[in-house]
Structures are given as structure tokens and as C-alpha cells.
Structure 1
Amino acid sequence: MIKRMITEELLGLISFFPAVGLLGPRQVGKTTLSKLLADKIKKEILYLDLELPSDLAKLEEPELFLQQFKNHCIVIDEVQRKPDLFPVLRALIDQHRLPGRFMLLGSASPELIRDSSESLAGRISYKELSPFNLTEVLDLFQMDQHWFRGGFPDALLAPTDTLSKNWVRSFIQSYVERELPMLGLQVSPVQIRRFWSMLAHLQGALWNASTLANSLGVTAPTVKRYLDFMEQAYLVRKLPAFHNNAKKRLVKAPKVYIRDSGILHHLAGIFDMEQLLGHPLLGASWEGYVIEQISQVISPDIEMLFYRTHEGTECDLVLRRGARTLACIEIKFTSAPKVSKGYRIAVEDLGSLKNFIITPASSDYLADGQIRVCNLKIFLAKYLPIIET
């Protein structure tokens, strides 16, 4: 059992909120983690899996059924399959308000689970469970293996590369044929797969709805709807552009990333590490991987952005808290990084005191008085906690 870094935080939420939502993509380990937490909760546990017809039938009259277990912690898995349940949960919580009454597991964001945010406002705290972070698996895997296979447990823990690839293939097929349509994206599986693959080949590029729309034969609002669904299903990340600089002409479109690197590599037709090292997507894959690892562990009050001007000044990742720039980060796949003129200007524009170039394997040193070079493992363990304070 690999300990998940959000375990203690979840136990704290369960001890305070009547309901806790544990959200994330399918097969990321939500059910496993909830059963582990159940062993630590001083309550009897009732577990309902709404993919089982027998458990779904129990909630045909949810009020009558759930009232029998008012002193239990009721775990409801795949809760997005029954969105009309949320108003009932609100009423039950208000009748008998105790911490830890419900744990709701879902494969979509609250925005896609209709009525949840409104019905349970003030009664629920949501937490995302991401695929394994590098910091969680360093004792078991080399970083290159985690980067190439991605963080989904079955893909990463598969005994062979062939089995890992087969799992990722099945995961993608399941999402395009079943999961995304069930969440409300009523598009043919072929169209969804084409869109997802196109995003993979545009990893880290500026979002351009018109270009994708023309390629797919649909309108720009339609591809934006596709992207929103993928984002709310925890498959895609939109990195917003920094825009608070009135003196510069800034790029405003977000950058788009496939969140899991293993899925990215499969969609791009990259099936081994040697192939990745010679592929045009190498730098974009590394950039997306670093951003995802940081995003999973960073404090939620820190905003992640990128900075780019129309003159070419650029910084891959900007960390901000409110109006204060905490750090500027350049992400490079190289063992001997050089400080570019564009990055140096970005540091001056943003006025950040902590600045980094993150590489796969560099030692920890100052490139000049303002910019530190280090590898990803050192950054996550040593410098990110300093930035957050």
C-alpha cells in the first residue's frame, strides 16, 4: 500500500464536515483510499457502489434507506450516477448534523455533478485525489519510469511495460465510449478520441479553438465545450496566462496540457522511453509533467500561471499568492541549462525574488545571483515548502 499524501487532511475534513467529496478521474484510487480511511474512522461504515444495480436499487427511496444509518459513515461511490441524491443528502444532514456522515466519491468535478454545489453548500468539503505524485513513489520507482508511465496506479504498478500500455489503452477507450458520454458529453467516441489525440500533439501550446474546430469540422464554441468537459473530468489542465501587467502586451490565451504523462504518451504514439527521448514532444511532455507534479502538492491558495508577452518574453510557470509573485519557474529538459534573455526579462517584469530552472537531473546551484538551477526532486522536497511560506 502506497500512502497517499492527502490521507491526514481527509481525516481532518471528515472529523469536521458532515460530508466530504473525494473526486478525481476513474481508477485513481478513490475507493482504495476510502476503505483505508474507513479503518481509521470511529464509526460503522456503510459502503454503496452506484455501479452495482443492487446498491443503486437501495436508493430508489433514498430518504427511507439512508435514515436507517444516521450514525454510520455512509460511503457512496460513483455518486455522479445519481445527481438527484444531493437534495436528499442536504435534508438528512440538516435533520441530524454530525461530522463524517457521508463520504462521496466521484469521477467528475462538482460543476459536472448537477446540483451538488448548491444543495450541499456549507455542508461539504471537496478534495481531489490525483494520480500518484512523484513524492509518493520515490522509494519504489525512478522518476523516469513515473514520468513515462504516468501516475495512475494500475499503469505505474503494472509488472511489464506491455501490461502498462494495455491498461492505458483500455482506460482511454473506456472514457471515450462510456465515461464522458455518461457525464453529458454527447459526442461520438471517434470525435472525442480525435480531439483528445489532437490535444496531446499540442501539449503545452496556446489554446486556439478556431484551429481545432476547423480540423474537427465543428464550431469554436463546440470545441471549447469539449475542452471544458475534459478539464472537469480531471483529464486536461488549462494553465491561465498572467495578465496583471498594464505596461506589457500580454498573451491572454491559456496553455493546455494532458494532465497524466502516461496518457499523453499513449495518445501521441510514444511507446517506450527511447522513443520519447527522440520525439518532438519531449520538451512539452517534461514541462507538463513538472507542472502536474507541482500542482498536486502546492497550497490551494497559490495560483499557477504562465507569463508571455507578444515580444517573446516568457516564463513557463508563475506562482502567485494574491498580488504577490512568489516564484518564476523555467522548465527545461537539459543537463546544462542556460538562462535565456526572455526568462531574465520575465523575472524583472514580475519582480519575483525566488526564481528557478527545473531540469530532470541537475544538481542544486545558483546560475547567477537571482536564478537557481535544480532537479524536480530537489525542488519539490526543498524549495516548494520555502516558497509556500
Structure 2
Amino acid sequence: MIITRASAMTALRQALSDNAATVLLGPRQIGKTTLARAIADERDGSVYLDLELDADVRKLEDAASYLRSTAGRLTVIDEVHRAPHLFAELRSVIDERRRAGQRTGEFLLLGSASLDLVQQSAETLAGRVTYLELAPVGPLEAQGAAIPIDALWLRGGFPDSLLAGDDGASLRWRKNFTRSYLEREVPMFAPRMPATTIGRLWTMLAHGQGSLLNAARLGQALAVTAPMVGRYIDLLADLLLVRRLQPWSGNLGKRLVRSPKIYVRDAGLVHGLLDIATLD
């Protein structure tokens, strides 16, 4: 079964037509690479680089020369957050191409961590970049693929989880997903933060899905300070795993001091963290 991400494809095509560079953000395994390859297949001569592969990293040892050699072709760079030095080179190449009349659809950059990537690109690519976030599969996309809404709610919108052979396989996929994030992504993006503690916090947030953030209570349960809880949540939000819903108030001053609500961003991950395997 194939889930058609038609709305995401349309948004990505529009972004590429608006600016020289597009940054596509989303957690791992959400479908960024599949979407990017589909877009690349539409354009003759597109170049795809994965910075988890040593061979592709070596191609960018002289990044300026290599990127200049791809003029006139869409260049897709996956895992771009692994090479922050590239952004300065990209700015130079984009400006050269602008002077030559090439102003849009030059680079598609994929990343799994929003804050660092947005900051890095904003510092050097201001006015040259469009940001898009790829969300989990939604109800309309599931309906288009004839997937029952109950299955989407239980398994969540990560394609591999949603399309698993049965509920048990889906739950195992989600548990392996959370484990890999704690063992790989947390040490990579925040080497000084204890992955075990962040995992416990992630589960506690799932238990309190949609409740007001009480950092002091969470900190007491985790034996850390409330500001440290805030930094842990910042990391989970940066990895696009949780969302802060800021309070609304007509008084901006009150809005800034009131507590937000915290949501784990995918229903399937909530159920995986809570070990809920079936609708029963």
C-alpha cells in the first residue's frame, strides 16, 4: 500500500518555485527522503546527497566547487544538520546563480532537528530560503489510502508504523523508534543531557498528554530542577517530537507567563510510550 502525500508534494513544489533553497523539516522516518526523491525524479539531472554516507560527505570536502558543478540541477542534501559549515557555501553559490538569473529551485535541504537547522540557515540564507515541516500522515491522507481512522489513531502517522502488518508489529516499530531516538539522536544533539531521564520525561508527557506544563512537579519526579525540565522539553521540541501549545490571552504580558500545554506530536507515539497495543 502507498500513502500519497499529495498536499505535501504540492507545498514542496510551491516552495521550490518561490526560493533558491527549501528546508524540509520533520522527525526521522516521517517520509522526508521519499518525498524529496519523488520531487527529484520530476527534474532531469537532480543530485541527491546523504550526509550519513561517507562517499557523499567526501564529495563536499570542497563544497564550493562541487555545488557550483551542479548548476541548473536540483541538489538534494539529506541530513544537512550534520554539516553546518555548508550554509555559508550555499549562500555564496546561491548569490552567484542569482546574478546569472537562476533564482529558484536550486537546493532542497532535509533535516531532523528544527531549532539548530533553522538558526544555521537563517543566519546565512536569509531571504533565500523557504521552510516547510512535514507532519505525520493525517486523516485525509489516510482516507485516500483506504486506511481506517481507528488505525491511524492507534498507530499514528509515521508511515512504517501505520502500514505495519498488524498492531503488534506497529507497536514494536514505535518502541524501536523511541529507543533509537534516545540512543542516537539525543547524544548527537545534546551529548550532555541524560538520555534515560529524557526518556522518562517523554513518557510522563505522554501520560499527561495535552495538560498544562508543571515543570516543578515534573522536575521533582525526575530529581532535576524545573529549568532543566524546560531544557529537556526544548530538546524534544527541537527534535519535532513534542509541541508546546502556548496559551491565548488578550493581554500579551499574561500570555507570556502562563503555562503552555504539552503534546506528544503523534498519537501512535503516545500509545507506544504508554504501551497501548490495541484499541481495546
Query: Given the superposition, is the C-alpha separation of residues 110 and 189 from structure 1 closer, same or farther in structure 2, using an over 3 Å criterion?
Result: closer
The Cα of 1:189 is off from its aligned counterpart by: 2.1
- Aligned residue in 1 for 2:88: 87
Query: Given the superposition, is the C-alpha separation of residues 112 and 196 from structure 1 closer, same or farther in structure 2, using an over 3 Å criterion?
Result: farther
SS at match of 1:104: strand
Q: 2: CA distance between counterparts of 1:82 and 1:211?
A: 38
- Aligned residue in 2 for 1:199: 205
SS at match of 1:173: helix
Q: Write the mapping of 1:204-353 to structure 2, written as runs, cut at 5 A.
A: 204-244=210-250, 252-274=258-280
Q: Write the mapping of 1:21-100 to structure 2, written as runs, cut at 5 A.
A: 21-41=23-43, 43-97=44-98, 98=102, 99-100=104-105
Q: Write the mapping of 1:42-191 to structure 2, written as runs, cut at 5 A.
A: 43-97=44-98, 98=102, 99-112=104-117, 114-139=119-144, 140-184=146-190, 186-191=192-197
Query: Given the superposition, is the C-alpha separation of residues 185 and 262 from structure 1 closer, same or farther in structure 2, using an over 3 Å criterion?
Result: farther
The structure in which a higher percent of residues are strand is: 1
State the percentage of identical aligned residues: 46
Question: Structure 1 regions of 5+ residues with no counterpart?
Answer: 275-389
SS at match of 2:64: helix
Amino acid at match of 1:197: T
Q: 1: CA distance between counterparts of 2:53 and 2:179?
A: 21
Amino acid at match of 1:256: I
Amino acid at match of 2:197: Q
Deviations 1:301-328 (A, max 9, x none): xxxxxxxxxxxxxxxxxxxxxxxxxxxx
CA RMSD of aligned residues (A): 1.9
Q: 2: CA distance between counterparts of 1:83 and 1:223?
A: 27
Deviations 1:166-203 (A, max 9, x none): 11011101111111221235322211211111111111
Q: 1: CA distance between counterparts of 2:105 and 2:190?
A: 30
Deviations 1:2-48 (A, max 9, x none): 2211211211221231001111000000010111111223x420100
Amino acid at match of 1:174: S
The Cα of 1:63 is off from its aligned counterpart by: 0.9
Largest Rg, 1 or 2: 1
The Cα of 1:107 is off from its aligned counterpart by: 0.5
Question: Which one scores higher on RCO, CA 8 angstroms, separation ≥ 6?
Answer: 2
Question: Structure 2 regions of 5+ residues with no counterpart?
Answer: none
The Cα of 1:82 is off from its aligned counterpart by: 0.8
Amino acid at match of 1:266: G
Give the alignment's TM-score, normalised by structure 2. Answer: 0.92
Query: Given the superposition, is the C-alpha separation of residues 249 and 109 from structure 1 closer, same or farther in structure 2, using an over 3 Å criterion?
Result: closer
The Cα of 1:141 is off from its aligned counterpart by: 1.2
Q: 2: CA distance between counterparts of 1:136 and 1:57?
A: 38
The Cα of 1:251 is off from its aligned counterpart by: 8.7
Contact kept, 8 Å, 2:247 with 2:255, in 1: the verdict is: no
SS at match of 1:273: coil
Contact kept, 8 Å, 1:17 with 1:100, in 2: the verdict is: yes
The Cα of 1:135 is off from its aligned counterpart by: 0.7
Query: Given the superposition, is the C-alpha separation of residues 72 and 219 from structure 1 closer, same or farther in structure 2, using an over 3 Å criterion?
Result: same
